[in-house]
């Protein structure tokens, strides 16, 4: 399997790139944010639990998120590999993912991180909020809280994967195609 973590702050373009990359490399794309939104829309118990956290721009608790992610992977064990988008977001999630994959004789091949300055991210998110219908994209204080969650809980994962020589930063500013090309240069070598 080829297992890639697509990393970066909210609005850095992970979802957009994952959609292109999953076809190019024939991988299964798992976006934990999308799975949560699906559950909210369908009013499942998981959706009801996640909603209050997501509405405020807070991370959903690890245990719930990790169990959900594992279930998504288990559904697709015949895949060529996975693109993880929006997961892991905490060190505990990263450790669980490593242990879970290792039990299956698999590993994360690399983390590709989209690097974009925060001012540009706010602009992108507010623009996306005009059409996405996502309330967490429409309110500057919620957006700032998401960045705060990212800085305090998620950004450390750069060091986590760097320590395993698996961290690859990419300039996330440019056209969608330009950024895809930059990412592919990395993925092709993994």
Tell me the catalytic residues: 14, 89, 128, 134, 146
Measured distance CA(170)–CA(168) in Å, rounded = 7
Please report, as residue ranges, which positions from 99 to 128 form the binding site for ligand AMP (by CB under 6 A): none
**Cβ atoms 109, 190 nearer than 8 A:** yes
Name the minimum Å distance from CB 93 to ligand AMP. 6
SS (H, E, C) 15-40: HHHHHHHHHHHCCEEEEHHHHHHHHH
Name the minimum Å distance from CB 38 to ligand AMP. 11
Among 13, 33, 110, 129, binds ligand AMP (CB under 6 A): 33
Choice between 135 and 185, CB closer to ligand AMP: 135
Name the minimum Å distance from CB 188 to ligand AMP. 25
**By CB under 6 A, residue 32 contacts ligand AMP:** yes
Choice between 86 and 110, CB closer to ligand AMP: 86
**Cβ atoms 36, 28 nearer than 8 A:** no
Length of the chain: 190
Choice between 13 and 86, CB closer to ligand AMP: 86
Of 16-24, 31-39, 168-176, 180-188, the window that binds ligand AMP (rule: CB under 6 A) is 31-39
**By CB under 6 A, residue 65 contacts ligand AMP:** yes
Closest CA to 187 of 23, 69, 76: 23
Please report, as residue ranges, which positions from 137 to 156 form the binding site for ligand AMP (by CB under 6 A): 146
- Residue owning tokens 């996405």: 132
Region for residue 81 given its phi and psi (left: phi exceeds 0; alpha: psi -120 to 50; beta: otherwise): left
Strand order through the sheet with 2-7: 28-31, 81-85, 2-7, 110-115, 167-171
* Other Cβ atoms closer than 10 A to 5: 24
Please report, as residue ranges, which positions from 160 to 189 form the binding site for ligand AMP (by CB under 6 A): none
Binding site for ligand AMP (CB under 6 A): 10, 32-33, 36, 53-54, 57-60, 65, 86-87, 89, 93, 136, 146
């Amino acid at each position: 399997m080829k297992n890639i973590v697509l990393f970066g702050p909210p609005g850095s373009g992970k979802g957009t790139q994952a959609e292109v990359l999953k076809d190019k490399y024939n991988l299964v794309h798992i976006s934990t944010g999308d799975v949560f939104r699906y559950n909210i829309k369908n009013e499942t118990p998981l959706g009801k639990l996640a909603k209050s956290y997501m509405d405020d721009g807070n991370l959903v608790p690890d245990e719930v998120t990790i169990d959900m992610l594992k279930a998504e992977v288990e559904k697709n064990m015949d895949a060529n590999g996975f693109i993880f988008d929006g997961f892991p977001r905490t060190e505990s999630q990263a450790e669980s993912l490593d242990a879970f994959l290792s039990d299956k004789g698999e590993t994360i091949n690399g983390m590709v991180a989209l690097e974009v300055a925060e001012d540009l991210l706010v602009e992108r998110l507010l623009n996306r909020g005009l059409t996405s219908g996502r309330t967490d994209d429409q309110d500057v204080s919620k957006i700032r809280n998401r960045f705060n969650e990212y800085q305090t809980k998620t950004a450390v994962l750069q060091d986590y994967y760097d320590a395993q020589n698996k961290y690859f930063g990419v300039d996330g500013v440019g056209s969608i195609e330009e950024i895809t090309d930059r990412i592919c240069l990395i993925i092709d070598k993994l």
